Amino acid sequence: MVVRTRDLRLFRASRGGRGWRAHGDRWETERVTSHPTATSIDDPLFDEIVGWVAEAERITVLTGAGISTGSGVPDFRGPNGLWTLNPGAERASHVRHYLEDEEARRAGWRAALDRRMGRITPNVGHLALVELERRGKLLGLATQNVDGLHIAAGNSPELVHELHGTWRFSRCFGCGDRRPVEETVDRVAAGDHDPRCLLCGGVMKRDVVLFGEPLDEGTIGAAMVASEACDVFLAIGTSLGVTPAANTITRARAAGARTVIINGQPTERDQYASASLRGDISELLPELVFRAT
């Protein structure tokens, strides 16, 4: 299935024509009263979920920070999370502060340069989702992550909906010029610590959604359409605490899909899960896909 412009118009109509703003606009659908949880690949429930994935023809996936921690990408609010260890980094994630504070921008570009030196790579969890696509089962992959690892692993860009933007590009606040982030990071490495747009001189940032910025309506709409059209929905490595991303599971459940949460801890929307797998994503997800395909 390809999400077309007409589908997005219908989606907008169902939302009253409203757009989305980062981390806002919460809404609910009918809740599931209880759900079973497996904590091991040896649990009989795990085999039942394998059967759901094996039978599925249209699987939609939502991923969060938990799928990328195995690649060395820190989460944000965990015990060793980026914002837990460095509260100033969270402040710099607000658009007003980023625009007003040159040092916040310099710190952001230093982090981008350091990350390039580290060269993060996809892990077995990302590769498992590539296998789902290779088998023709993947309808859509919505991600809250900005690390670009799904595309780096081999998932088709047209199936990946990067809800909060991506580190793979930089963008100008002024004219909107967008180009591969490596071009901008090269300038930082050469000594330009607060690079400006080469076209208009505007402030540059990595092409991620900062707090206070609007989300891309087309990207959100495509994720919601895919969630409503699937027969199995997998929420992987996300606390399901940030909207509108977390609304994908409620949309999928309301449309009749089997919904599975794969995470190390309980989430804020466990009540919408048909079943949960609780544990190490790098163990659970590859085994689930291997057995099902």
Residue positions annotated with a catalytic role: 164
- The tokens of 245 are what? 């991303």
Partner residues linked to 257 by β-bridges: none
Residues in the chain, overall count: 293
How far apart, in whole angstroms, are the C-alpha atoms of residue 39 and residue 9? 41
CA distances from residue 28 to 97, 171, 246 in whole angstroms, order as listed: 32, 34, 10
Q: Are 157 and 268 spatial neighbours (Cβ–Cβ below 8 Å)?
A: no
Instruction: Work out the number of other CB atoms within 10 angstroms of the CB of residue 281.
Output: 24
How far apart, in whole angstroms, are the C-alpha atoms of residue 181 and residue 170? 5
**Using CA of residue 28, residue 162, residue 85, residue 124, what is the dihedral sign?**
positive
Distance of CA 108 to the CA centre of its chain: 20
Helix residue ranges per DSSP H, the chain: 5-14, 44-55, 82-85, 87-91, 95-100, 102-118, 124-134, 149-153, 181-189, 217-229, 247-254, 281-292
CA distances from residue 137 to 4, 114, 143, 293 in whole angstroms, order as listed: 19, 36, 17, 10
